[in-house]
Chain A
Amino acid sequence: MSDKRAASAETTLRVCALYPSRMNIYADRGNLMVLQQRCARHGFGFQLTAVDDGDSIDPDAHDLYYIGGGQDNDQIQIADDMRKTKRDSLATAAESGKVILAVCGGYQLLGEYYELDDRRIDGLGIVDLRTVREPGPRLIGNVTIEVSVDGRTRTLAGFENHGGRTYLDGDCQPLGRVVSGFGNNGKDGFEGVRRKNVFGTYLHGPLLPKNVWFADHLLKLALNFADDLPPLDDRLEDLAHQSALRASQKSHGLKSRLAKRVGAS
């Protein structure tokens, strides 16, 4: 495409982190560290802006928006502020193809609403999904999903821990298909959401350190590059990815063995 760019000496990734001091419960800092250090290793500049209560956002001033997860109380408090002072800018950014990465609680907040005990908390409504409560335990454990990117199937490994069950509506696409773990709701086999360059997922762990291919993919989208980024020496990153995959297969294997045993008795 003609409007795609190539990397240059002036390339700088401008990241906007939403409520980083509250929405950080699952080591979300790790995701930001990966973005920063990959930029350094690729030779790009990196700019991080933190926005908090009451701050407005200029939708053109950032290439990538990050929303992490928080404790229930924190999420209730920021949901209101987010709708009032940031919703329109984020919706504009999403429409214009900016990257938004939302993890766990941040993912739930992208949707129409999420339910918490007997309350319903309105979200940003920039993606057509909702998160409801259903009987049953929290969905906790190692998780692996398969994601289709540019015609290739790749894996993301992480850890999920959520009480809410998320359902996608309309023409929303899931981010991936669950290989092991629960995913959006433990029922339909889907995990996360993707709409344009808006990504939502329950995978923390954190997500990007052990899935650096995805970090580079987000960089490519955020910087509007035509080509994939050149490979780096990711031996340690690949080992970490394998370690997370192994953990997820191990717990999955254990579960199916238990299921067999219960079935046999």
Chain B
Amino acid sequence: MKSVSPLKLGLARAVGRLSRSSGRGGGTSLPGKVLLRMQADAIAALAADLRDGAVVISATNGKTTTASLLSSILERGELHPVHNHAGANMAGGIATALLDASHDGRVDGDIGLFEVDEAWTQTIVDEIQPRVIVLANLFRDQLDRYGELETLADGWQRMIAGLPATTSVVLNADDPLLAGIAGGRANTVFFGIEDDRYAEPVPRHAADSKFCRRCGSALVYSAVQLGHLGKYACPNCDFARPQPSIAARSISMNGMRGSSIEIVTPTGSFRTEVPIPGLYNVYNAVAAAAAAHALEISPGAISAGLASAKAVFGRVETIEIKGHNVALLLIKNPTGANEVLRTITAGDGQFDLWLALNDNIADGRDVSWIWDADFEMLTDQVRFVTCSGTRAEEMALRLAYAGIERERIRVDRDIENSFDTSVGGSIRGGSPLYALPTYTALLELRGAISRRGDAPTYWEQAKK
């Protein structure tokens, strides 16, 4: 049997301590990278210790939240997960999570829980041979890094074809790009949303994959939940949405507090609270429930786990600054941004906005995506908006084109300064403030806030 020597583990760990103490960040992937340099099969060797196998979750949007919801469910089901909770989701991050969990030559945990970058799924799956794979959605995102959606979907299809029959594949029935990639494979579970109350009549502009993957015809939708997800059928061939066996029904949205949903499973249905807002988080909750069902976790544990889940670092998080609540919501691609915009404009009131657009590698260097997101939703409700980040001016211009008066738009590239000004302005104006940063802007903002003691750093928070 493969193993990793204590010396290598110790060396890699020391690198992590060094990285943290030098203030260079959480060291959430560097130790793992060092370990993989010393031993290429370290992930496989360490993962072999996990008694109950591993779950791999991939998607364009919602990986971190879905994994976090499933983590909460697993704890209720008395399965202690080894989880890359800080969101480092390539080989280095996964190796680091396993490294952090190993003590005295053993990995301390029952089950692996790994969110994996879309482009790394095949590599990680080959290493750890998971029990369950969740593939939740593919949206237009960072074309400079991932290339085109079809290419990613084709890659996942090949990956599934190579899996052993024992692996459960959990797919989103509502995503026409993914629903067909398992063919007629046994041991495949579909999840979806059955309630059309919050659905939109036609796909938004940013929706891709509105065409049948088999014959190229335009799909016909009877309901669009978000992006290109919904109830669809091809008018030309027999491709249609599969019936989901795990589904959300009778959804009731409660603003920023979250939603209440009924989850239907083959072994019965139950009601549960989802303590994070937006229809996109209903998808994340049902995906987590479907994975838990594939792991034979009881409905009681699923419901309790979802209801007690905590917000994930910056995904939808409310932080208190000077006694004022600021809601922090990550934006990173058109469909994700649209869902955030739908969520914050669901009420009627006016609010202030802080938007930070960075173009670092982790954000995607190409910022054209802001023209595909429907910032027009904001027009009637924004009192003042501050645009920040490395491409602040381009964000500001996009908002002007969305119909927000130019006098209401401020530009300040400095993340910390501009945020302080926004918070001050929203306190004086008695207006709620939403902060919408891209990924590296979020890290920078979070770093600034925690240096000043307003919130814990992300790696501390993730440790619980």
Contact B368 A159 (CB under 8 A): yes
Measured between beta carbons, the chain A residues less than 8 angstroms from B143 are 25-26, 161
Interface string of B359-403 (1 = CB under 8 A from A): 100000111111110000000000000000011111011101100
Q: Does B420 contact A (CB under 8 A)?
A: no
Q: Which residue of B lies closest to A158 (CB)?
A: B368
Instruction: Name A214-265 residues within 8 Å CB distance of B.
Output: 236-237, 239-240, 242-244, 247, 251
Q: Give the residues in chain B near A71, CB-CB below 8 Å.
A: 148-150, 208
Would B401 and A239 count as touching, CB distance under 8 A? no
Question: Could you tell me the distance in whole angstroms from the C-beta of A163 to the nearest C-beta in chain B?
Answer: 9
Instruction: Give the residues in chain B near A204, CB-CB below 8 Å.
Output: 368
In whole Å, how far is A143's beta carbon from the nearest beta carbon of chain B?
11
A240 and B397 in contact, given A71-B149, A140-B144, A205-B366 (Cβ under 8 angstroms): yes
**Chain A residues with Cβ under 8 A from B369's Cβ?**
27
Contact flag A240-B144 (CB < 8 Å), given A77-B216, A205-B366: no
A24 to B334, CA, bound (A): 13
Contact of B396 among A29, A37, A236 (CB under 8 A): A236
Contact A236 B406, beta carbon cutoff 8 Å? yes
Whether A159 lies near B365 (C-beta < 8 A) is yes
CB A207 to nearest CB in B, in angstroms, measures 9
Q: Which residues of chain A have C-beta atoms less than 8 A from B149's C-beta?
A: 71
Decide if B397 touches A247 in the complex (CB within 8 Å). Answer: no
Known pairs A71-B150, A239-B411; A247 contacts B391 (CB<8 A): yes
Nearest residue, chain A, Cβ from B390: A247
List, in ascending order, chain A residues with CB within 8 A of B148's CB. Answer: 25, 71-72
Instruction: Count contacts on A: residues with CB < 8 A to the other chain.
Output: 36
A72 to B144, CA, bound (A): 15
With A73-B150, A159-B366, A247-B390 as contacts: A237 and B397 at CB distance below 8 Å: yes
B210 at interface (Cβ–Cβ under 8 A)?
A: yes
Given contacts A161-B144, A247-B390, A247-B391, contact A236 B397 (CB under 8 A): yes
Number of interface residues of B (CB under 8 A): 34
Q: Which residues of A contact B372 (CB under 8 A)?
A: 24, 27, 29
Q: Which residues of B contact A29 (CB under 8 A)?
A: 205, 371-372
Chain B residues in 8 Å Cβ range of A25: 140, 143, 148
B396 in contact with A239 (CB, 8 Å): yes
Q: Is the CB of A161 within 8 A of B366?
A: yes
Residues of the B chain whose Cβ atoms lie less than 8 Å from the Cβ of A210: 394, 397
Q: Which B-chain residue is minimally distant from A28 (CB atoms)?
A: B371
Specify which chain B residues have a CB less than 8 angstroms from the CB of A27 in the assembled complex.
Answer: 368-372
A36 closest partner in B (C-beta): B401
Asked if B150 and A33 make an inter-chain contact with CB atoms under 8 angstroms apart, the answer reads no
Partner of B150, one of A72, A161, A236: A72
Residue A141 is within 8 A (CB to CB) of chain B in the complex: yes
A59 interface hit (Cβ, 8 Å):
no
Contact, CB under 8 Å: B365 / A209: no
* Residue A21 is within 8 A (CB to CB) of chain B in the complex: yes
Give chain A residues whose Cβ lies under 8 Å from the Cβ of B401: 30, 33-34, 37, 209
A130→B167 CA distance, assembly (Å): 47
- Cβ B393 vs Cβ A242 within 8 A: yes
Write out the residue numbers on chain A whose beta carbons fall within 8 Å of the beta carbon of B144.
140-141, 159, 161
Q: List 8 A-B contacts (CB under 8 A).
A: A24-B205, A26-B368, A71-B149, A77-B216, A236-B393, A236-B397, A239-B397, A247-B359
| Known pairs A77-B216, A159-B144 / 14 extra A-B pairs, C-beta < 8 Å | A21-B210, A24-B372, A27-B371, A34-B401, A72-B148, A73-B150, A140-B366, A206-B371, A209-B371, A237-B397, A239-B393, A240-B393, A247-B359, A247-B390
Closest 8 CB pairs of A and B: A30-B371, A27-B371, A239-B393, A27-B368, A243-B393, A240-B397, A71-B148, A240-B393
Residues of chain B whose beta carbon lies under 8 Å from any beta carbon of chain A: 140, 143-144, 147-150, 205, 208, 210-211, 216, 359, 365-372, 390-394, 396-398, 400-401, 406, 409, 411
